[in-house]
């Protein structure tokens, strides 16, 4: 049984298809969540179809805690979110997944035990279930077409948990082989091209030459180059000169 309390429990309430329980386990573990609770699964437990679908995340199913009813699953929880696709006529705060997982991260950091409820595939949570929750999570889907299944709802919520609780790197560069070219390396490339293109009569007419050189320099600086890029571009120019010399 997972003992770590630094994450919310995801509670599948009366799930129907084993495949969807397995898909939920995979969705959770993709984002580092591994505390699953299962309330009254339709087809009993353990469920071979859940195991077959959970490839690589089967540990979550082995460690999942099983309950006969929702009250039991929530016995130790201090704050409960319920996911639902539609308005229920219950007076309750309604949060986006983003805001809900912000709140969850704050509460978990403060030592609270947070649970998130996901309803059965066909009908979703009953109002009786939702009345046990402190707040509702509603995914902002296309009003013309709301068709998220159980695994997808778990996936988006787990993704938002990761976004709100982790350190997402928003921008990086996959540098590939080698380092960025230094200023002097770029400058030598610029000179190489200018010299050869000058010889080749490229900067014509003379009154436009300066502008053309500026544009070319600007192009080199705009595209940030690695050392390998610079070497390749030197090679391009050398080869063109060789070709000319052969001709």
The footprint of its own copies (CB under 8 A) covers: 26-27, 29-32, 55-57, 87-96, 98-99, 136, 139-142, 145-148, 152, 155-156, 159, 162-163, 166, 168-177, 226, 229
Q: Which is nearer to its own copies, 122 or 246 (CB)?
A: 122
Q: Which is nearer to its own copies, 177 or 246 (CB)?
A: 177
Question: Please, are residues 101 and 143 in contact by the beta-carbon 8 Å criterion?
Answer: no
Distance CA 203, CA 192 (A): 14
Query: Measured from the CB of residue 174, what is the shortest distance to its own copies in angstroms?
Result: 5
Question: Please, are residues 74 and 116 in contact by the beta-carbon 8 Å criterion?
Answer: no
Q: Which is nearer to its own copies, 31 or 220 (CB)?
A: 31
Query: Measured from the CB of residue 202, what is the shortest distance to its own copies in angstroms?
Result: 27
Provide the 3-class DSSP secondary structure of residue 193: helix
Question: Please, are residues 79 and 112 in contact by the beta-carbon 8 Å criterion?
Answer: yes
Q: Which of 8, 53, 12 is nearest to 35 (CA)?
A: 8
Query: Measured from the CB of residue 42, what is the shortest distance to its own copies in angstroms?
Result: 22
Query: Measured from the CB of residue 3, what is the shortest distance to its own copies in angstroms?
Result: 18
Q: For helices 183-199 and 227-246, what crossing angle results, to 10°?
A: 20
Bridge partners of 180, per DSSP, are 226
Q: Which is nearer to its own copies, 90 or 200 (CB)?
A: 90
Distance CA 202, CA 209 (A): 9
Q: Which is nearer to its own copies, 5 or 152 (CB)?
A: 152
Query: Measured from the CB of residue 88, what is the shortest distance to its own copies in angstroms?
Result: 6
Q: Which is nearer to its own copies, 34 or 43 (CB)?
A: 34
Q: For every residue of 36-70, which 3-state class applies, written as one string?
A: EEEECCCCCCCCHHHHHHCCCCHHHHHHCEEECCH
Strand order in the sheet with 9-13: 65-67, 36-39, 9-13, 114-118, 79-83, 135-137
Query: Measured from the CB of residue 78, what is the shortest distance to its own copies in angstroms?
Result: 16
Q: Which is nearer to its own copies, 141 or 240 (CB)?
A: 141
Query: Measured from the CB of residue 149, what is the shortest distance to its own copies in angstroms?
Result: 9
């Amino acid at each position: 049984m997972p003992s770590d309390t630094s994450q919310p429990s995801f509670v599948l309430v009366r799930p129907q298809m084993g495949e969807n329980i397995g898909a939920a386990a995979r969705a959770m573990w993709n984002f580092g969540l591994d505390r699953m609770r299962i309330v009254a699964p339709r087809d009993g437990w353990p469920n071979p179809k859940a195991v077959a679908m959970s490839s690589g995340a089967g540990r979550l199913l082995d460690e999942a805690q099983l309950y006969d009813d929702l009250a039991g699953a929530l016995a130790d929880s201090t704050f409960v979110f319920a996911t639902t696709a539609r308005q229920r006529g219950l007076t309750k705060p309604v949060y986006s997944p983003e805001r809900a997982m912000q709140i969850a991260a704050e509460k978990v950091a403060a030592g609270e035990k947070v649970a998130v409820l996901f309803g059965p595939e066909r009908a979703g949570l009953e109002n009786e279930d939702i009345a046990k929750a402190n707040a509702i999570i509603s995914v902002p889907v296309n009003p013309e077409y709301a068709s998220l299944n159980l695994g997808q709802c778990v996936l988006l919520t787990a993704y938002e948990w990761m976004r709100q609780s982790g350190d997402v790197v928003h921008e990086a560069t996959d540098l590939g082989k080698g380092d960025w070219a230094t200023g002097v390396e770029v400058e030598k490339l610029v000179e190489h091209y200018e010299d050869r293109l000058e010889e080749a009569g490229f900067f014509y007419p003379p009154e436009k030459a300066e502008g053309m050189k500026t544009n070319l320099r600007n192009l080199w600086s705009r595209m940030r180059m690695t050392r390998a890029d610079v070497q390749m571009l030197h090679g391009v120019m050398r080869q063109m000169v060789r070709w000319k010399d052969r001709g």
